Amino acid sequence: MGNWLQSIQNKEKRPIARLISRIENNDPKKTQFLEALYPLTGKAYLIGVTGSPGAGKSSLIDGLISYLRSLQLTVGIIAVDPTSPFTGGAILGDRVRMTQHALDPGVFIRSMGSRGSLGGLSRATKEAVRVLDAAGFDVIIIETVGVGQAELDIMHIADSVALVLNPGAGDVVQVFKAGIMEIADLFVVNKADLAGAPRLIAEIEELLDLVKHSKEWLPPIVRTIGTKQEGIQQWWEQLLQHQQFLTSTGQWEQKRQQYFRQEVRELIEDYLRQQLEEELNSPAYQEELIQVAERKKLPTQVAKEWMNRVLGKTGGGSE
């Protein structure tokens, strides 16, 4: 047990990659692995980077990795891709632009599929972040491809969320007004050398002006040109300012506590759902349904009886 754990702490890439794969595949020892890792977690700075496809997120992250390494910080990247409905694997695969860091011992990059998770981040993704945290990476970047109401999960795991926009994506702000703008702790206007950049920035500022009185933290707007690596330092400095804001106001721990509450709740719901599915496939349950159809039992009566049966098996039932 100790050997593999030491390898993780030494940031050895192959053991880390193998462990993440075992977690993805629900290895029988998965819980044992996570229990051993858990006391080592909680130290990394978790950054979420999200935005529409084509916004240039990979180029920006590539530049941020280089800059962070120049500061002697170690970096882990989890790139969440849409999942193929045929193979269950990540469609886009490893990010081509980030491969220059593949041989750097201070950088670990992993692409993972969302696996149909409505929140955009599967449980395996969150557990992979935990592995990198336990490995001692200073900064962990979680990149999601595509953005919308289903991608709000990123705000629950990351300490700071950067929403990347670009002038060439049409009326982006209108698309994001429905709520996705609210997850951003800072806005990154990439491809800021394009003609539509001033208008896009003005639209974001207009939206922020509407909410500035109700927010303790007003998200800054950072201008970048990812292909030229311009604005990367300013982006990092704004991220650090947000991190400082979280710690000075006590929201750092509060935000993580909210995440833990949600995670435990999701696990309880999944466990109960699994137990319930097993019960509802039994012949006895089918007989109960016949009684409901024959008007001999109320649906609510059957539902309560079978829920009590499930809770009784899990140790939570009461007469």
Q: Label each residue of 187-221 as H, E or C.
A: EEECCCCCCCHHHHHHHHHHHHHHHHHHCCCCCCE
State residue 36's pLDDT score. Answer: 95
State residue 82's pLDDT score. Answer: 61
Please tell me what DSSP assigns to residue 168.
G
* 189, 201 contact by CB (below 8 A): yes
Phi, psi for 276 (deg, rounded to 5): -65, -40
pLDDT in tens, the chain (319 residues): 559 999 999 999 999 999 999 998 889 999 999 999 999 999 999 999 988 777 888 889 999 999 999 999 999 999 887 644 333 444 444 445 566 788 899 999 998 876 544 444 678 888 999 999 999 999 999 998 655 544 667 888 899 999 998 887 655 565 565 566 678 899 999 989 888 899 889 888 888 887 777 778 999 999 999 888 899 999 999 999 999 999 999 999 888 888 889 889 888 888 888 888 888 888 888 998 999 999 999 999 999 988 888 888 665 544 4
Name the pTM for this structure.
Answer: 0.85
Query: How far is 50 from 31, CA to CA, in rounded Å?
Result: 29
Query: How far is 232 from 229, CA to CA, in rounded Å?
Result: 6
State residue 170's pLDDT score. Answer: 59
Question: What domains can you pick out in the chain, each with its CATH number?
Answer: 4-249 (3.40.50.300), 260-315 (no CATH)
State residue 66's pLDDT score. Answer: 95
State residue 98's pLDDT score. Answer: 62
